[in-house]
Amino acid sequence: MFRENFDGFLNEVTKRIPDGSIFRDAPLSNFSTYRVGGSAALLLRIEDPSVFSIILKGLKKFPLPILLIGNGSNLLISDDGFEGIVLKLGNSFEAIEIEDGVVKAGAAAKLPVVARETVKFGLSGFEWAVGVPGTVGGAVRMNAGGHGSDIATSLIHATILNLLNGSLSNVSAAALDFSYRYSCIKSTDLVLDATFEFIQGDKDESKRVLNEIVRWRRDNQPGGQNSGSVFTNPAGDSAGRLIETAGLKGTRIGSACISEKHANFIQVDEGGSAEDVRKLMSLVAEKVKDFHSITLAPETVLVGFNGDPS
Ligand SMILES: Cc1cc2nc3c(=O)[nH]c(=O)nc-3n(C[C@H](O)[C@H](O)[C@H](O)COP(=O)(O)OP(=O)(O)OC[C@H]3O[C@@H](n4cnc5c(N)ncnc54)[C@H](O)[C@@H]3O)c2cc1C
């Protein structure tokens, strides 16, 4: 069934959208900060919003699994890849407009860029995002956060395209049901842009905060191939503390290793495998359960593994 639908979709869609935006058997390791994982049957890089109607028509006729990728900084993509269509918003979705404390950012805009740009305009409230290597779209979906704040704190509304029925809505933050690293945005809802409101601040103080956050990240988090925090923090505790006190820092399975710098980060060797990361995640969850009687929940989104709902 997949093959039939895939061929039908290809036939229907590819001749109608620009050549340079279609990638068959696209290696997804290039689109994830873990830099592991197999290929997607098809990756479409979208620059022109008029292409959406073509894709939606194609999907209606030939239903296929869809994966939305931002900067891939919270994804673990299986070594078998993703049997479906990956949509990636291109540079034309990176625009940032700022007026009177209101900031509208395209879904592909990078969080550190938005953070620095707001500070340049004397606004305060988004400094926390300077060290988060995601896009606005991924961050809204995940309700990304840090340093005592998150997306929900300043988001007013987001423009969301429902890929199942083609409806385009301006959804208020209240309707997104935000909680810690959660929104009710579904895997078939594509965030196109987000509008935030910030307060006028002291530019020098905000610049100091940006520098302090960058320094803190450098001192406390590892570089290399990783996807940030692997597990969410249980209420009142930190996943990093639980993993560290279970004696797991430095534990390795094949190419994947628990960081010595921050126990809630897994680093992968160059040319490593997603399966090693997944096995290490399972081992950590099991050991933390044995040691602390606490069940850790993954923050990382797993794609292409058994049970993946994409
Ligand atoms: C070094 C490092 C540090 C990090 N620090 C933090 C931190 O402090 N706080 C934190 O919260 N996270 C952190 N992260 C994780 C990650 O950066 C955030 O979750 C980020 O918001 C993910 O954005 P992304 O664009 O990379 O999304 P992706 O990883 O590409 O996708 C994440 C999810 O969002 C969906 N998605 C992506 N784009 C869209 C879109 N346009 N519309 C709808 N859905 C979409 C995907 O399908 C997926 O379900 C860190 C990661 C790294 C590597």
Query: Which residue out of 35, 141, 181, 278 is catalytically annotated?
Result: 181
Task: Calculate how far, in angstroms, residue 15's C-alpha sits from the geometric centre of ligand 1.
Answer: 32
Q: How many domains does the chain have?
A: 3
Pick the closest to residue 199 from 288, 121, 113, 90 (CA basis): 121
Instruction: Give pLDDT, residue 19.
Output: 80
For ligand 1, which residues put their CB under 6 angstroms from it? 33, 68-75, 89, 107, 132-135, 137-139, 141-142, 144-146, 185, 187, 189-191, 221, 226-228, 301
Q: Which tokens belong to 182?
A: 């959660």
Where does a domain end: 208, 237, 261? 208
102 and 194 in a single domain? The answer is yes
Pick the closest to residue 89 from 104, 77, 102, 107 (CA basis): 107
77 and 100 in a single domain? The answer is no
Mean pLDDT of 213-241: 97
Contact 22, 44 (CB under 8 A): yes
With cut-offs at 50, 70 and 90, classify the pLDDT of residue 261. Answer: very high
Range of the domain at 182: 93-208
Nearest residue by C-alpha to atom 51 in ligand 1: 228
pLDDT at 2 over 60: yes
In which residue are the tokens 């993993």 written? 243
Where does a domain end: 91, 111, 126? 91
Task: Calculate how far, in angstroms, residue 303's C-alpha sits from the geometric centre of ligand 1.
Answer: 13
Domain CATH number, residue 296: 3.90.78.10
pLDDT at 310 over 80: no
Classify residue 288: in a domain, yes or no: yes
Q: Is residue 181 flagged as an active site residue? A: yes
d(CA 3, CA 31): 24
- CB under 8 A, 24+ apart: contacts of 211-215: 213/127, 213/128, 213/130, 213/131, 213/147, 214/130, 214/131
Classify residue 309: in a domain, yes or no: no
**Digit-coded pLDDT (tens) for 6-57:** 999 999 998 899 888 999 999 999 999 999 999 999 999 999 999 999 999 9
- What residue type is 66 in one-letter code? I
Grouping H, G, I as helix, E, B as strand and the rest as coil, residue 20 is helix
**Digit-coded pLDDT (tens) for 117-173:** 999 999 999 999 999 999 999 999 999 999 999 999 999 999 999 999 999 999 999
Instruction: Give pLDDT, residue 173.
Output: 98
Classify residue 73: in a domain, yes or no: yes
pLDDT at 308 over 60: no
Contact 131, 139 (CB under 8 A): no
**Digit-coded pLDDT (tens) for 266-283:** 999 999 999 999 999 999
What is the DSSP code (8-state) at residue 231?
B
pLDDT at 306 over 90: no
Contact 168, 180 (CB under 8 A): no
In which residue are the tokens 């094949």 written? 254
**Digit-coded pLDDT (tens) for 77-93:** 999 999 999 999 999 99
CB environment 115-143: b (16+ within 10 A), e (fewer): bbbbbebbbbbbbbbbbbbbbbbbbbbbb
Classify residue 308: in a domain, yes or no: no
Contact 280, 268 (CB under 8 A): no
Classify residue 78: in a domain, yes or no: yes
User: Is this model's pTM higher than 0.95 or not?
Assistant: yes
247 and 279 in a single domain? The answer is yes
Domain CATH number, residue 196: 3.30.465.10
Instruction: Give pLDDT, residue 68.
Output: 98
